[in-house]
Amino acid sequence: MGRSKATLEWHGSTLVRRAVGIVGRVVDGPVVVVRAEGQELPALPAHVEVAQDARQARGPLQGIAAGLAAIGGRADAVFVCAVDAPLLHPALVRHVIASLAADAGGDVALPEAHGFPHPLAAAYRPSVARHLDDLLRGDRLGTRQLFARCRVRRLDEAALLADPAVAALDPELHSLLNVNEPSEYDAARARPAPEVTVTGRGNVRAATLAEAGEGPASVNGRALSDPEEPLVAGDVVTFVMRRRYRAAS
């Protein structure tokens, strides 16, 4: 890309802010951003933790290892998300995590769509950390080598779309599209913002709370106030009306 993907703008926010907001909707544990040494990040919500790659330029395995190390024993399953997937939908995240949870003997739930596996939109057991450490020590950096050591539940397009929420809200599986080159980023920016419903106004296009309206609101019943909070297709946004008091005469 020639510049940090984390800081790239998409419909009023940054790619990293959008990623942490979407994943944070689904998980009930910590949200960790892994960065390279010295990499600057835009402002993130206070609850988001930041970890650092132990060594630079070691590909996705190093980042996954750093994230798992930061989470430690605080989770039974971990969803790993690339920063450059602005169309990621919580419904797909939820389905991938549930697919791993339903497979008691599985180590990884791996989406496979658009002709590729997607290791950076997959769910992992923390126990895969031992395989990662061994591979990294030997400078073996391919995800295929990791999956050869793991029990992988592969989720093809039919398996992903078997979830009614995914089928309704992300039927083209755009969650799995990422931006690796400037042309792909330009194409992503040209896409319209998600269609959401604002109570009292109807359907609008908005990728953040600020694009949908002003002030604190609830999104699908959850109170939010950060104007950069990401919105996705199917969201229902209700803005809180402030009472106005007439001055006593």
* Per-residue pLDDT in tens (0 to 9) along the chain, 249 residues: 778 899 999 999 999 999 999 999 999 999 999 999 889 999 999 999 999 998 887 889 999 999 999 999 999 999 999 999 999 999 999 999 999 999 989 999 999 999 999 999 999 999 999 999 999 999 998 999 999 999 999 999 999 999 999 999 999 999 999 999 999 999 999 999 999 999 999 999 999 999 999 988 999 999 998 999 999 999 999 998 755 444 443
The per-residue pLDDT for 242 is 57
Nearest to 99 by CA among 157, 158, 155, 149: 155
Looking at the chain, the number of H-run helices and the number of E-run strands are 9, 14
CA dist 142 and 146 (Å) reads 7
Which own/partner contact pairs does 197-202 have at CB distance under 8 Å and 24+ positions apart? 197/235, 197/236, 197/237, 198/237, 198/238, 198/239, 199/236, 199/237, 199/238, 199/239
CA dist 160 and 171 (Å) reads 9
Q: Read off the tokens for 236.
A: 């229902």
Structural domains of the chain ordered from first start? 5-176 (3.90.550.10), 193-239 (no CATH)
The per-residue pLDDT for 249 is 38
Q: Within its chain, how far is the Cα of 56 from the centroid?
A: 22
pTM for the whole structure: 0.93
Expressed in angstroms, the distance from the first to the final Cα of the chain is 63
Q: Read off the tokens for 180.
A: 């690796």
